Structure 1
Amino acid sequence: MQTHKILLDTDPGIDDFFAMLLLADAQNVELCGVTAVAGNQVMDKIVRNARGIAALLGWTCPVAAGAAGPMCLPQITAGEVHGDTGLGHFPLPAPTAPLDARPAWELLYEQARALDGALEVLAIGPLTNLAVAFLAHPDLPRYLRRIVVMGGSTEWGNRGAYGEFNFYVDPHAAAVVFGAGVPIDMVGLNVTMQTGISDAEFDGIARLVGETGRAYSELLDFYRNIYRDNDLGFQIVAMHDSLAAALLMDEGVLDLRPAAVRIDCSPGPCRGRSLVDFASQTPNARVAVAVDRPRFWELVLHSLRRAQSDFRIQKSDVRC
């Protein structure tokens, strides 16, 4: 079994959290670092969540703070989806390790150089940290094996008609990353929306995790109610970031096809749109076009079973 040496770039975020549960359950993933980027919430809340989740999961890798906003545009968050904390009412434990002194892009660069081409990046937030790393270190591409990106879409968006949230927040950063010359796997809304959870599946998850895992099912229920109570344009709740994480665990969960991807950085309704050309003779990415839903959900449910037994929330550990 091939081991993937991963740096996780994230803006946790409810769906980020469940992606992190998947990584904690992966037998073929070695986590080399976690870098935080503003996106789903403002930076101090994102860093707090990243450190708290790392403590919950027993991760000892460095956790570093990164960009507090986009490269060129005003900050946008998604508190209307993820709540004021970024994680609904989930009772995270207090962090157990200090925040790494390096900024996210320096941690990324140093880890990539140390691993000399073996490092892969799982990027499930806006791509600002990665873009800064490429701009600061032009030699970085030679040290990266692959970037798996949750972002973009081959069709419609969830911010306006075409923009997916991560690319919409910082389209200029996405353009830098897709132009860097590193192999990229793009997991966009066109496939993540195929992971939508039905009411019956919600009920099954609640039964699966039971009383000891109630905090996990309540977080999913918070996520579901947000979609129900607000006009977000979708009638299902999708596990966007978990699908990108699942690709590292099992390549068979997604059908990926080569394409040339460009990012629209213009203002207006096309901001953040990913222009995907499957006919191009010069592809710069593999783009997911279909998901094996049962295979994906088998991974998710296994991670939740482990969480309710191994990552229990102790009241004495909960931060105020």
Structure 2
Amino acid sequence: MHNIERNYIMTEKEALILDMDPGIDDAVALSIALTHSEFDLKLLTGVAGNVSVEKTTANLLKLEEFFGRTDIPVAMGAKAPLKREFKDASYIHGESGMPGYDFPALTHQPIDKDAIEAMVEVLDNADQAMTIVATGAYTNIALLLQQHPEVKPKIKRLILMGGSLSGGNVSSVAEFNVFTDPDAANIIFQSGLDITMIGLDVTLKALLSNQSIKDIAKMGEVGAMISGVMTAYNDAEGDGKPMHDVNTILYLLHPEFFTVEEHMIYVITEGPAVGGTISDFQDRWSNGQKNSHVAVDIDAKAFEDWFLTEIPKMNAAKAAQQ
């Protein structure tokens, strides 16, 4: 482990690999990433999480076709966690992972390479170190680091949706992405890479109100799609729905909306607290070292205001691709 420094400024066009398990909130995050002028998406990879990897990968392809962005390669990744039995979250995200909108039948397919091979190729060919955003279980990223440790210098930073310092959503301590594959998460947090953890401490505050979801339905084709899937989203917090994965994209664009602290995060991999992400607040074991930037608060109003202004931009970007 090492002490980390946070000194990144968003470049004019940020090259990204997105590793996802759509999933409704993943779908909304990807919708923004696919249409935003500040991102250069190099690769999309699917992983088993909210639903099976076959379904999450198909959902990546559906969104590419919806936005006219089939230029970005899509690769299928891990079908199950490293060591644990796979259990999905279809009770939250529906059987397909992306219900609520009638997407047309797919007209293109994933590339022949699996997610690990595809990530290695993209990283090897990159002129500069790249950012990886992971919004599902971290199985693909852990396998990448295990099988190809030589690519670590080509990874500038990992932006992770997952974890929590204040309590879980699948147990009293565990957040879903980490709980799904805690062994993968443990590898990630011990990797020495620059990690930003955006977990439930923030994402349960970054809500899209029920009224906003209704208003979005009237905002063109993109609004109808996003409102449809959000309405089908069986996750609620107060008078709205949490937009967990969208916060990773927002963080890249507006880090000033977030309060971020430096922590030493340990992942619990067995027992009743499995999937917990524990910070050594009292510095009992870490000897002053930190391994993660952890988002602990967010300007919730700024989040929702920003999100509503993005819908017209997404409509315009979609229209430009047609």
**Conserved in 1, the CA contact under 8 Å of 2:222 and 2:314?**
no
Alignment of 1:26-105 (within 5 A): 26-59=36-69, 60-105=71-116
Q: Secondary structure at 2:179's aligned position in 1?
A: helix
Distance across 2 between alignment mates of 1:234 and 1:46: 28
Q: Indicate the residue corresponding to 1:118 in structure 2.
A: 129
Distance across 2 between alignment mates of 1:276 and 1:109: 31
Shift of 1:122: 0.4
Change (3 A) 1:108 1:82: same
Is the deviation greater in 95-104 or in 44-53?
A: 95-104
Q: Secondary structure at 1:158's aligned position in 2?
A: coil
**Conserved in 2, the CA contact under 8 Å of 1:4 and 1:30?**
yes
Q: Indicate the residue corresponding to 1:143 in structure 2.
A: 154
Is the deviation greater in 37-46 or in 275-284?
A: 275-284
Aligned length: 304
The question of 1:264 aligning with 2:268 is answered: yes
Q: Secondary structure at 2:49's aligned position in 1?
A: coil
Moved over 6 A (4+): none
- Structure 1 residue runs of 5 or longer lacking an equivalent are 313-320
Match of 2:216 among 198, 205, 208: 205
**Conserved in 2, the CA contact under 8 Å of 1:171 and 1:263?**
yes
Shift of 1:92: 2.1
Match of 2:141 among 130, 135, 143: 130
Change (3 A) 1:85 1:257: same
Percent of residue pairs bearing the same amino acid type: 29
Change (3 A) 1:115 1:310: closer
Q: Indicate the residue corresponding to 1:303 in structure 2.
A: 310
Shift of 1:7: 0.1
Shift of 1:221: 1.4
Match of 2:251 among 247, 250, 274: 247
**Conserved in 2, the CA contact under 8 Å of 1:163 and 1:271?**
yes
Alignment of 1:208-287 (within 5 A): 209=219, 213-223=223-233, 226-227=234-235, 236-268=240-272, 270-278=273-281, 280=283, 281-287=288-294
CA RMSD between the two structures: 2.0
Match of 1:106 among 83, 92, 117: 117
**Conserved in 2, the CA contact under 8 Å of 1:191 and 1:288?**
yes
Q: Indicate the residue corresponding to 1:21 in structure 2.
A: 31
Distance across 2 between alignment mates of 1:211 and 1:140: 40
Distance across 1 between alignment mates of 2:40 and 2:221: 30
- Structure 2 residue runs of 5 or longer lacking an equivalent are 1-9
Change (3 A) 1:279 1:25: farther
The CA deviation string for residues 68-100 of structure 1, in whole angstroms up to 9 with x for no partner, is 010000001010111111001322234343311
Distance across 2 between alignment mates of 1:99 and 1:21: 18
Match of 2:301 among 294, 299, 307: 294
AA of the residue aligned to 1:13: G
Shift of 1:199: 2.8
Q: Indicate the residue corresponding to 1:317 in structure 2.
A: none
Q: Secondary structure at 2:40's aligned position in 1?
A: strand
Distance across 2 between alignment mates of 1:162 and 1:302: 34
The CA deviation string for residues 278-312 of structure 1, in whole angstroms up to 9 with x for no partner, is 56521111000111223322332233223445548
Change (3 A) 1:210 1:22: closer
AA of the residue aligned to 2:253: M
Q: Secondary structure at 2:100's aligned position in 1?
A: coil
Q: Secondary structure at 1:139's aligned position in 2?
A: helix
The CA deviation string for residues 154-198 of structure 1, in whole angstroms up to 9 with x for no partner, is 111011101100000000000001111110000000100011233
Change (3 A) 1:258 1:13: same
**Conserved in 1, the CA contact under 8 Å of 2:207 and 2:300?**
no
The CA deviation string for residues 110-137 of structure 1, in whole angstroms up to 9 with x for no partner, is 2112215421000000000000000001
Q: Secondary structure at 1:185's aligned position in 2?
A: strand
